[in-house]
Structure 1
């Protein structure tokens, strides 16, 4: 259902308080992209309703409905599609407690569903329940054989004070095998893990090695600029940090503290 992209925590290791990080995890401002729930859906197409069960969850793609039906316990396929559809909708509406409640119900009906374990893990991530995030996203990875959520799993390990494990996970994310946004988010988490280990220069180099001058800056570019600016400021490279904070402020002035941070430098 969802690739939780753009949720990596800021360079100082503190989660961001809004949609871009786990809810309730802190009050420090960091870069957060404008809310775009639809971007979290792996398959954005809403298929035509073909059965009562899919009418209950019209936002699920045909592929996801098929995966749910294939992994459901005997006699539970229709109930699973309905309950999981409600869980996915709760997630998109940012009602993460409800998404967890319904996701756990879905899991009991389909322990081997990658879609269920992914959404459940992301809901736990948004509520800063790190051990549960690790459990569910690790299971998703084993079932799906996917790198799409490595950055989320790695960020949970960072929160559990295991930056070395976080770094191992994001190092597995290969450019060209995932969406550009996922690759950038993995590098943001990698930089954060390196900073956690006291390796500021390596953290900065990790982000400076990315293409930071795209023709059109997207949310993941702005997040990278913000985190890099934060790291540069911590390293004492104030002029470069100011330039990046100003670039973020110029592109998206209302949803970050970049204008204030630039003004202080």
Structure 2
């Protein structure tokens, strides 16, 4: 896999560099550079990130950071069984519980929400920091919804973190998940309020709260780039049929003297042909296509034990 020259491997976290020190220097540098590419591409091109993770895995499968990177690359491409296996391996190597929420989310991805819900009640949750416990709550609420327990999902998300006015990296997602859960049980007015609160906290644009608000308000958007060739031609023809601004701006007073100056025409007889009516240009208004709102089913609500 080609790696840009500007990627040195020094961009990775210090703790990961320390793990790689157990490898020969040249090998460690190669692994580090591949891990940098995984991090760079994980959001924008998950498949490419997965390919770089596979290279790092082939070079250093006994390094916990590599197994974790492999897990996240597999997770981002919906390879949930593979991701779960890699997260379990990384957890065995480090003894850390920080991967517990994403492991539970893999269970959801594999169609086993009841297992994800059971994991929310395990002692490992108590070892998580506050951010990890919020993630676990999001996953558990999502599992509730997977199981058809929409009202329980709403209750699951009601917490001190949700009620707090402080803004943390997870605040926007938690408020968004709560709004979405409210909407699922028909509480649209409350959902709108919480989508608004999510938007206030979403400084990095991690959610589509603004689009969801527009949807609730009945606002529809049309992207000109999405118009078909036929629709684009209709728009062009409609524009061509419109009178020019100069013609519209011409004062009526200027047109009247010219009409008065015309010689009086002979009155039409019964045999005179009737003047043909002017054909009016027909224009077709483009219908506004509703925006598509795509939600990731595995980044929704969760529950804390």
**SS of the counterpart of 1:191?**
helix
127, 149, 152: which one aligns with 2:99: 149
Alignment pair present for 1:124 and 2:74: yes
Between stretches 96-105 and 219-228, larger displacement belongs to: 96-105
CA–CA separation in structure 1 for the residues paired with 2:202 and 2:114: 33
**Alignment correspondent of 1:259:** 213
**Alignment correspondent of 2:272:** none
Q: Kindly state the Cα deviation for residue 143 of structure 1 after the two structures are TM-superposed.
A: 1.5
Q: Kindly state the Cα deviation for residue 146 of structure 1 after the two structures are TM-superposed.
A: 1.6
**Alignment correspondent of 2:38:** 91
Q: Kindly state the Cα deviation for residue 137 of structure 1 after the two structures are TM-superposed.
A: 1.0
The answer to which structure, 1 or 2, has the higher relative contact order (CA under 8 A, 6+ apart) is 1
Q: How is 1:202-217 mapped onto 2 (pairs within 5 angstroms)?
A: 202-217=152-167
Quick check: which has more Rg, 1 or 2? 2
Q: Kindly state the Cα deviation for residue 62 of structure 1 after the two structures are TM-superposed.
A: 4.1
Q: Kindly state the Cα deviation for residue 201 of structure 1 after the two structures are TM-superposed.
A: 2.4
Between stretches 154-163 and 252-261, larger displacement belongs to: 252-261
Change in Cα spacing, 1:58 to 1:233, as seen in structure 2 (3 Å) is same
Q: Kindly state the Cα deviation for residue 225 of structure 1 after the two structures are TM-superposed.
A: 0.9
Alignment pair present for 1:82 and 2:29: yes
Asked if the contact 2:67–2:89 (Cα under 8 Å) also holds between the matched residues in 1, the reply is yes
Asked if the contact 1:245–1:261 (Cα under 8 Å) also holds between the matched residues in 2, the reply is no
**SS of the counterpart of 2:47?**
helix
**Alignment correspondent of 1:69:** 21
Change in Cα spacing, 1:179 to 1:80, as seen in structure 2 (3 Å) is farther
**Size of the alignment, in residue pairs?**
204
Asked if the contact 1:225–1:245 (Cα under 8 Å) also holds between the matched residues in 2, the reply is yes
CA–CA separation in structure 1 for the residues paired with 2:120 and 2:89: 17
Alignment pair present for 1:184 and 2:134: yes
CA–CA separation in structure 2 for the residues paired with 1:63 and 1:188: 28
Q: Kindly state the Cα deviation for residue 129 of structure 1 after the two structures are TM-superposed.
A: 1.4
Asked if the contact 1:90–1:96 (Cα under 8 Å) also holds between the matched residues in 2, the reply is no
Which consecutive segments of 4 or more residues in structure 1 shift more than 6 A?
A: none
CA–CA separation in structure 2 for the residues paired with 1:60 and 1:228: 34
CA–CA separation in structure 1 for the residues paired with 2:155 and 2:104: 19
Q: TM-score, normalised by structure 1?
A: 0.68
**Alignment correspondent of 1:171:** 121
Q: Kindly state the Cα deviation for residue 125 of structure 1 after the two structures are TM-superposed.
A: 1.0
Alignment pair present for 1:59 and 2:59: no
CA–CA separation in structure 1 for the residues paired with 2:21 and 2:25: 8
**Alignment correspondent of 2:223:** none
**Alignment correspondent of 2:50:** 100
**Alignment correspondent of 1:110:** 60
Change in Cα spacing, 1:223 to 1:61, as seen in structure 2 (3 Å) is closer
Change in Cα spacing, 1:210 to 1:200, as seen in structure 2 (3 Å) is farther
Q: What is the RMSD computed on CA atoms of the aligned residues?
A: 2.4
Alignment pair present for 1:229 and 2:179: yes
Change in Cα spacing, 1:188 to 1:62, as seen in structure 2 (3 Å) is closer
